[in-house]
Structure 1
Amino acid sequence: MSDQEKPLSEEQLRERVAEILRRIRHERDQWDGGVDELKALFTGPMEGAARHLVEEAARREKLELQWKLEEMLEATAPPPPPQAKKPEPEPEPEPEADDEPEDEDPSGRVVAPLRPEDLVPIYEDPRGLLIHRHRIDGRWILTQVNPMSGQPQSMELSDAQKTQVQDELKGSPYWVEEPAGGGSTILS
């Protein structure tokens, strides 16, 4: 590159990149020398423009030459700017597990967390319908298989739904805990 000075404008830079690639494109034994010439363009004030032009031109080359150019671009890539170290947020203390009710229902009543050990089975139909009563607050949880996904789905039953389920399933042999006298003990 002694007979040609470094390009001063982006247009001259573009022409220089194109000329180097044109010269080495079909001469595999010239690739290393051409890559070195392209690397030399990455110094000085036009480094960013030169990198961009080589990246752009590499996309239009034969795959093997494209790989060679990409390797050179990766090897000569400037280091990423140092990022300000963000202070790590302090971990929130985990709430202690206890048998106390934690959440509040929109109706204002206190709702205990739903944990498997607090669920008492009251109805088990082998076809996939399960009803559990929460040991602490008496809520009913109905679980059934979703026919679309095959996965179990659970939902909490309101008082009206509890009564409806009791009426519909009255006399069923699958009650584990029998609803006594209209179900007043189970509903509460």
Structure 2
Amino acid sequence: MTENIVILGGSIVSVFNTSELRKDGYEAKITIVASEKRFPYDEPPLSKEWMQDNKDEKLPLLKPETFFDDNNIQLILNTKITSIDTDKKQLFSEDDQTISYDKLVINFKKCFKRRLNMTFYDENGNAIAYTEDSVHLYLFTGKPVVYFVNKKVYGFNGAHLGWFEDGWIRDLKGKCVLFNSTATEKAQ
């Protein structure tokens, strides 16, 4: 069975991550699930340069449309995820799709709308963790889970677990828990 990494959210971070995985020789299946109806596009130029002098009505794409097929990256557009079953490793969408994964990367910037203070929720909507500062993540039992030094993420045994970049944590060797260190957003 081929491993499948699912990246939730279709922003620049997700596209960059898939590009880097392929450059590093990672050959497993990669799926990006995005709520947008369009291919991932470059938002800053869209809001500034593109809208000021737009003679070409095409959106400024982050990668050519052929990039995804050429690199064996499945792109599932116009799909809103409503819940995640981490035990069964499945995502459930608003339109009743079930998407299975082996490893999950969540790009909070694109997946969630309302900003809240560093509270994290499980797939059932139960609050499970919080931060008191931008350095430590705690379970509600008070037990510290991970801490951040520069852009690296460490367990309290000192093990390097992953890295923090552009508001999210990624670790493709195990289960991924990704979030923004200054503010997080609760699932819709």
Q: TM range, normalised to the smaller chain?
A: under 0.3
CA radius of gyration, larger in = 1
Q: TM-score, normalised by structure 2?
A: 0.20
Q: TM-score, normalised by structure 1?
A: 0.20
**Higher relative contact order, structure no. (Cα contacts within 8 Å, ≥ 6 residues apart):** 2
The structure that is helix-richer by fraction is 1
